[in-house]
Structure 1
Amino acid sequence: MPYAYEPVDDLATAVQRITLTSSDSDYIDQLIPVIKDARKSSNTNQLLGTFTQIAAERESEIERICNSNHQEFISSVNQLLRVREGTVRLTTEILSLNQSIQASTEKLAQQKKALVDSRSVRQNIDDTTNALNSCLDVLRLANQVHDLLAKKKHYAALRALDELRNVHLREVSRYKIAEMIEKSVPATQRLIAEAVMSDLNMWLYRIREASQYLGEVAFYHTEMRRMRFKERAQEDPHLAKFKLNSAMELVADEMDEFDLLHNEETETNIEFGPLFECMHIHETLGQSDQFRAEYAATRRKQKELLIPASLNLLDPDEAELSSLLECITGFAVIEKATMMKTDNFRATVDVDELWDSMCQSAILLISKALNSIESDEKLLKIKGRIGLFIQTMDRWGYSINSLNSLVLTIFHKYAQLLKRRFSDDFQEIVSTDDYMPMPINSIDEYDKVINVSWYTPEVSRDELSFPCVLPFSQMYPLCCIDIRNFLNQIYLFSDESFERSAVIDETLHTSLDELLCENVCKSLVDRLSSQYPGQIVQILTNLEHFETACAELQKLLFEARSSNSASGPIVLHALEQFRAGKKTAEKRIFELVNSKIDDLIETAEYDWMASTAPDEPSPYMQELTRYLSVNMNSVLLGLPTEIKELIYFDALSHAASMIMDLPLDPGVRRISPSATHALAMDVTFLLNFVDSLANPALKENLDELVQTVALMQTKDPDEFFDVSQANKKYGRVDRANGAILLEKVREGAAATPPPVVSSRSDAFATFGSRFGINRNKD
């Protein structure tokens, strides 16, 4: 420890203390401050004197000691010399030994150096061995990654690669191999990503191949649900107002579990393991967005592969259509299942976009192929497959609006084909009918006709005797059958996948109306050009029954249409058409009857200047009454009474007018009394015939003719010109015609002798007595 100097005033004391120090270092340490102090105080000489005095004192003491111990000192010196001699000898030996030791030490140093060097080499070897082992472990792990990759254990390979990179590579980070492996990690990650994508692509290929079968199973499941719900609706009518895929149906069917993707019965097993592994690996690699985009692009490409270039709908089993719809169904089900089994992997907008694209492509193909379909039955089958497709996809939550529009398009074509087919049927029925009252030979045949026809018989079923005849011809029940079939087949298009809507109701209303108007009513009216009154009468009868059928059809259509579209009564224009056709038929009958009357009256051969009166009515008058009697009792027998009365009324009116025109003909200048008697006899004969009909209203048509003939036979022509008398006796006679006939009769009477009245009857007496005319009156 360094000596702590304390300054003192007495140099002698300080020097004394310095000399008593035990070591040179302490001596110096104490001396230096004293010297410094002496210099500061200019006591350097004093200090030197002090040291000199102390040295003299010590020499004196040494001399004193030596003087008192001289002999011992000599002995000691001698002894010391001997010791010194021995010491020199020992020193020589030591030096020799030292040289020997030094030589051994150099050898030992060389050996030690060699040992140190060998230890260093061994350490290097150990370090190298450890480094090699660490590198081998890294290489083993690197190879293990590739082995796992070869064994399809992609996630295990990725985890091993991650462990290699984050743990083991750090242990060998100072070696080149670490850098090499570190550089190869991205490539290995790409290999893993490519390998897992390869497996995913294989999985996507397999599910694309399985899509059709999956769709077929989905259709089968929907069909089974249909059947089960139909059975439940039959047991519980309350369920009938609900449809498939409604909340009520889903609740009722929840006990019948069916996993479309995993079902032993149908042998379907769609595993999503490859997709989940691929998602997890890409998420670990930080490539989730890239993988999501790549997966979406792959599914879009697969979607394109599902859609064929063309579609044939003419095959008997609709195989191509079924295949297309089943593939789309399977594809869409996989997409929906992927959304449900993953979290934010498949965006709803992407799935809906794929669905819309597939629907539009399918609709385009089907719409083009529909142009080749000419069978309504085929369209019904096509609609059935599409309806099953709609219900299946509705169950999986897809939008079906565009498909409903397609079904509506199919319905319009279906209605057109039905209309065309039934139009041909109606045309054939109308053209091949015999237009005779329909004979019925048995009660079974009668029941069949009554059941299909809108006809209420006047005679009860129990009072019938066979064979019998129904008023209408065979075409009427045949048309009624076709009408019912048309209704049934239109409504057959409506089911739970396409409800009976206002579109169906309106299409049915319009189509049926056009069929009845164009193919039945118009065809019947066109056939009124026939010259056969019996055929015209039968057409009129048929038109009347069709009118009844139209009224019943209006009620039926009103009851059958959907409640949502009900807005007022159903009105068939065909009803007015049939009414107008009846009027046309009636006019045609009038024309034919009047034409026959014209022909008969044209055969009248009156000798207007005859001098002898005939004994019997003219042949034409007999033929005329016979024609009217036979025609009404045979040809016109099937007509309603009011129509027959109208025909009689019109025929008699026309006959009276034609008979009236005979004497008024400008070529007849004079009429003899005999000719007047002959005309009166014919009119009386006609009047008797009308009386036999027991219809007083018909006689009114003959009033003008009877009064005119009575005027021609009067003895007092001036009564006609007396207004009061004329109104009583000749009120129906035309004033101008009466004057003309009186003049012709006057000139005829002046030119011929009085007529000879037949002994058989007094025509004038008979004629005058009917109308209260007294021939003896002045």
Structure 2
Amino acid sequence: MPRGSTELYTDWNPSQIILSSSETDYLDQLIPLLQNAQTQTQVGPLIHALNHVSADRDAAIERICNNNHQEFVNSVQQLQSVREGTVSLTSEIMELSRSIEASTEKLAEQKKALVDSRGVRQNIDDTTQALKDCLEVLRLANQVHALLGEKNHYAALRALDELQNVHLREVTRYKIAEMIERSVPATQRLIAEAVMTDLNTWLYRIRETSQFLGEVAFYHTDLRRERQKERAEQDPRFTTARLNSSLELVADEVEEFDVLHNDEVQVNFSPLFECLHIHDALGQTDKFRADYAATRRRQKDLLIPQTLNLQDDELNSLSSLLEGIAGFAIIEKATMAKTENFRAQSDVDELWDSMCQSAITLLSNALRTIESDDKLLKIKGIIALFIQTMDGWGYSVTSLDSLLLALFDKYSSLLKKRFSDDFEEVVTSDDYMPMPINNAEEYTKVLSVSWYTPPADEASDPEDLEYPYHLPFSQMYPLVCIDIRNFIQQMYLFSDDHFRHTATIDRMIKEGLDELLREKVIRILLAGLKSQYPGQIVQILTNLDYFEQACSDLEEFLVSVRSSSSAAGPISLHATTSFKEAKTEAERRVFELVNSKIDDLIETAEYDWLSTYVPDQVSLYMQELTRYLANIMSSVLLGLPYEIKHMIYQTALEHIAENLLQLPLDPEVQRISHQAAAAYILDVGHLSGFVGSLDEDDRPETVIPAVEELKQNTDLMGLAAEGRGEEFFDQSITTGRFPMVDKIKGAELLEKVQAKGAGMGGLGGVGGAGLGMGLNSMMGSGGMGDDGHAKKASTTLGDFRSRFGDFGRRT
């Protein structure tokens, strides 16, 4: 039996038909069987089953009938009817089976057609969906290029990423996915190149903006300078606070200013951020960092010119160079602050150092042609503004500080050269005359510019002075003082704004003043001492004295104005000592001229030491000598300070006294008549009277001993002329009348002077006898020779000198 029939028979239970509650249920149970393709082969078993059922029913009926015949008969009849109905039904079933079979075939054909149509429809749906997916991919691919064309690079990269990681995964089985997948790297390169093109454009604009950015930064720094000065004027605590110090930064917080974003300039870093983000998304951050660094290095090289012109008055070339460097460096610092691990600190510092070294080289080469200290000061101002600006951005300015130090060296050299010429012109063109003052305004101005203190007896109010008024020094003194003040002021101008080597300025000022004063004032004044005109020498001496005093005041002034807060202690100028030495040299030169004149006048003294008459008036040379002394005291020495004037006068009188005393003590003078002694005493008395007639202000106490010694020697000569020379050897008389007379010289004078009435041939008379007796009594020998002379006079005088020389020196 076929497997299908066995399964059908096995699965089919006839009781299901018998137990069906209705015909509908029966038919419902038959329909699945009839729809089966094997129904036709199973109709026979169905009939057999129906017959079996029918037999069972007949047996049941028979049992029933046996119990109830009538009812059985009725039942038979009914059964007969049922049987007939069953047969009829069986026919219908057979008919129905055939109809079902025919319908089933038709249905199978329709179902096959339906299945086929559903497959086609599914294919169409799948194709439609595939087309939709592919179109979406194509749309996104086109959108990437559209966004790229709109320069929306990051959106294009996001769309490409979405296309690659989402949409392409849905169409991987299609050829288009492979094609687009192969085009993704090329598209990424297009995006990277496009964003780099925009970045290069941005970098170009930044390079063009750098100079203006630096100019704005310089302007802002200059405003901060002004605000800091105002704060320092109002509050002493800000006096020592420099720009960019903590105190200044805190005080200036209220004036916040963004150099990169303001009304003048706007620096947008979006292109850089976008480029950085895109390269980070592409995994090319390192490459982009290296390319960016190389680009900035090239831009740095383009920023530095080949040469630098410092000849224009406005120094536009220097300003443009430093503004460009400042803007470039500010962009680098801002880039570091706005990005993370993009710009290395070492790279930024390397660029900064390179730019600074290039600028320093250019400046150093260009500075060789600069010969103006004013222009150097302008250059320093621009460099200082640049240093202060970049110091505020955290850059190292050590090399630039060294440049300023070199600049200051050249500045100080030019300044010294200019003032050297000024000093030399002032000193060499001086008239060496006391400076005339025409009004109170001129007097006040001289007092304000020089270190001159008026005498205590001078009117305190300039209006009370009588004009024209003559100051003791010549006009070179205040002019040199003005130059000194200007030199100090202009040297300290270099320390304004920014200069950390303030101690160097203090040192250079001291050295520069020493050099200028010693080389251009003292040297020229010393050269002027060669003049034979005493008035010029005296004026030089006066000027030197006031310069010496000015140097002392100048040392205190330098201490008060020095810029180095760390320096302490006094300042000592070598010029002070040099002026003192030069003053001594000038005094010596005055002494030489005065003494030379005195010597000339004394040399005209023509004493006839053996004269036989007494003159009735003072010698001409003595009159001329006292007249000369009066003239130099009232005119030549008038302007000298009190101490110097009196020292010169004292020295002159000592020189006169010494020379006058040497006249009778000259070894060639053997004898002096009492008439010649009287003439000599008359002249010395005239000199003593002249000194005594001087005002107390013009007659220093120290001149009295010099004249007094000479007067006592002449008194001794007068005593000898009277024949009383032996009184000199009386200790009690000598101590009272001749305390200043040297014993040796006194003895020589006594030996030479003849007493009145003595003959010309010998000592004779009272004076000669007295001297002889005195010497004989003191030396233990004496007597007269045949020629009328003391036969042992020379021996006796020598013994006297030997025995009493030491006493005379002590006296």
Question: Kindly tell me: are residues 717 and 503 of structure 1, through their superposed partners in 2, closer, same or farther at Cα, counting changes over 3 Å?
Answer: same
Choose from 708, 713, 716 the match for 2:713. 708
8 Å Cα contact 1:500-1:562 kept in structure 2: no
Amino acid at match of 2:760: A
Choose from 441, 444, 448 the match for 2:445. 448
Match of 1:161 in 2: 160
Q: Which moved more, 1:204-213 or 1:597-606?
A: 597-606
Task: Spell out, residue by residue over 1:426-448, the C-alpha distance to the aligned partner (whole angstroms, 9 max, x if none).
Answer: 11111111111111111111111
Q: Specify the SS of the correspondent of 1:419.
A: helix
Task: Spell out, residue by residue over 1:85-131, the C-alpha distance to the aligned partner (whole angstroms, 9 max, x if none).
Answer: xxxxxxxxxxxxxxxxxxx99xx9xxx99x98x99999989877876
Match of 1:585 in 2: 586
Instruction: Please say if 1:293 is aligned against 2:290.
Output: yes
Task: Provide the aligned C-alpha RMSD in A.
Answer: 3.3
Task: Spell out, residue by residue over 1:694-714, the C-alpha distance to the aligned partner (whole angstroms, 9 max, x if none).
Answer: 546423213343333344440
Instruction: Please say if 1:605 is aligned against 2:606.
Output: yes
User: What TM-score comes out, normalization by structure 1 length?
Assistant: 0.76
Match of 1:185 in 2: 184
Question: How do 1:11-410 and structure 2 match up within 5 A?
Answer: 138-264=137-263, 266=264, 268-410=265-407
Match of 1:76 in 2: none
Question: Kindly tell me: are residues 728 and 356 of structure 1, through their superposed partners in 2, closer, same or farther at Cα, counting changes over 3 Å?
Answer: same
Match of 2:659 in 1: 658
Q: Specify the SS of the correspondent of 2:254.
A: coil
Question: Kindly tell me: are residues 691 and 231 of structure 1, through their superposed partners in 2, closer, same or farther at Cα, counting changes over 3 Å?
Answer: closer
Choose from 751, 754, 757 the match for 2:760. 751
Amino acid at match of 1:698: V
Amino acid at match of 2:330: V
Distance in 1 between residues matched to 2:234 and 2:371, nearest whole Å: 39
Distance in 2 between residues matched to 1:626 and 1:235, nearest whole Å: 66
Q: Specify the SS of the correspondent of 1:567.
A: coil
Distance in 2 between residues matched to 1:569 and 1:548, nearest whole Å: 16
8 Å Cα contact 2:308-2:363 kept in structure 1: yes
- Report deviation, 1:623: 0.5
Match of 1:87 in 2: none
Distance in 1 between residues matched to 2:154 and 2:744, nearest whole Å: 123
Amino acid at match of 2:200: N
8 Å Cα contact 1:672-1:752 kept in structure 2: no
Match of 2:785 in 1: none
Distance in 1 between residues matched to 2:727 and 2:762, nearest whole Å: 24
Amino acid at match of 2:161: D
Distance in 2 between residues matched to 1:699 and 1:738, nearest whole Å: 20
8 Å Cα contact 2:506-2:564 kept in structure 1: no
Higher relative contact order, structure no. (Cα contacts within 8 Å, ≥ 6 residues apart)? 1
Task: Spell out, residue by residue over 1:150-206, the C-alpha distance to the aligned partner (whole angstroms, 9 max, x if none).
Answer: 332222222232233223333443445443433332232222212211211111111
- Report deviation, 1:317: 0.5
8 Å Cα contact 1:427-1:519 kept in structure 2: yes
Match of 1:484 in 2: 485
Q: Which runs of 5+ in 2 are unaligned?
A: 3-8, 11-104, 764-811
Match of 2:632 in 1: 631
Amino acid at match of 2:448: N
- Report deviation, 1:493: 2.0
Amino acid at match of 1:699: I
Q: Specify the SS of the correspondent of 1:529.
A: coil
Amino acid at match of 1:686: L
Instruction: Please say if 1:432 is aligned against 2:443.
Output: no
Task: Spell out, residue by residue over 1:244-291, the C-alpha distance to the aligned partner (whole angstroms, 9 max, x if none).
Answer: 333343333333332222222x2x121111101100110000111221
Distance in 2 between residues matched to 1:669 and 1:648, nearest whole Å: 33
Match of 1:505 in 2: 506
Task: Spell out, residue by residue over 1:308-327, the C-alpha distance to the aligned partner (whole angstroms, 9 max, x if none).
Answer: 22222222101111011100
Q: Which moved more, 1:319-328 or 1:253-262?
A: 253-262
8 Å Cα contact 2:622-2:683 kept in structure 1: yes
Choose from 416, 419, 422 the match for 1:419. 416
- Report deviation, 1:680: 2.0
Task: Spell out, residue by residue over 1:509-566, the C-alpha distance to the aligned partner (whole angstroms, 9 max, x if none).
Answer: 3322332333223332332222221122222222222222222222222222347323
Amino acid at match of 2:536: Q
Amino acid at match of 2:693: S
Amino acid at match of 2:364: S
8 Å Cα contact 2:336-2:343 kept in structure 1: yes
Distance in 1 between residues matched to 2:172 and 2:661, nearest whole Å: 139
Distance in 2 between residues matched to 1:725 and 1:609, nearest whole Å: 28
Task: Spell out, residue by residue over 1:183-231, the C-alpha distance to the aligned partner (whole angstroms, 9 max, x if none).
Answer: 3322322222122112111111110111000101111112222233333
Q: Which moved more, 1:668-677 or 1:207-216?
A: 668-677
Q: Specify the SS of the correspondent of 1:534.
A: helix
Distance in 1 between residues matched to 2:741 and 2:234, nearest whole Å: 81
Amino acid at match of 2:280: E
Question: Kindly tell me: are residues 615 and 244 of structure 1, through their superposed partners in 2, closer, same or farther at Cα, counting changes over 3 Å?
Answer: same
Task: Spell out, residue by residue over 1:384-433, the C-alpha distance to the aligned partner (whole angstroms, 9 max, x if none).
Answer: 11121122112222222332232233223222222222222111111111
Q: Specify the SS of the correspondent of 2:470.
A: strand
Q: Percent identity?
A: 63
Question: Kindly tell me: are residues 232 and 567 of structure 1, through their superposed partners in 2, closer, same or farther at Cα, counting changes over 3 Å?
Answer: closer
Question: Kindly tell me: are residues 141 and 271 of structure 1, through their superposed partners in 2, closer, same or farther at Cα, counting changes over 3 Å?
Answer: same
Q: Specify the SS of the correspondent of 1:469.
A: strand
Distance in 2 between residues matched to 1:241 and 1:733, nearest whole Å: 71
Distance in 1 between residues matched to 2:258 and 2:477, nearest whole Å: 55
| Aligned residues between the structures | 648
Match of 1:81 in 2: none
Question: Kindly tell me: are residues 653 and 295 of structure 1, through their superposed partners in 2, closer, same or farther at Cα, counting changes over 3 Å?
Answer: same
Distance in 2 between residues matched to 1:199 and 1:640, nearest whole Å: 85
8 Å Cα contact 2:310-2:367 kept in structure 1: yes
Distance in 1 between residues matched to 2:650 and 2:761, nearest whole Å: 37
- Report deviation, 1:295: 1.2
Match of 1:532 in 2: 533
- Report deviation, 1:719: 4.4
Q: Specify the SS of the correspondent of 2:529.
A: helix
8 Å Cα contact 1:491-1:500 kept in structure 2: no
Amino acid at match of 1:706: K
User: What TM-score comes out, normalization by structure 2 length?
Assistant: 0.73
- Report deviation, 1:134: 5.3
8 Å Cα contact 1:501-1:565 kept in structure 2: no
Amino acid at match of 1:701: A
Distance in 1 between residues matched to 2:378 and 2:204, nearest whole Å: 31
Distance in 2 between residues matched to 1:243 and 1:691, nearest whole Å: 68
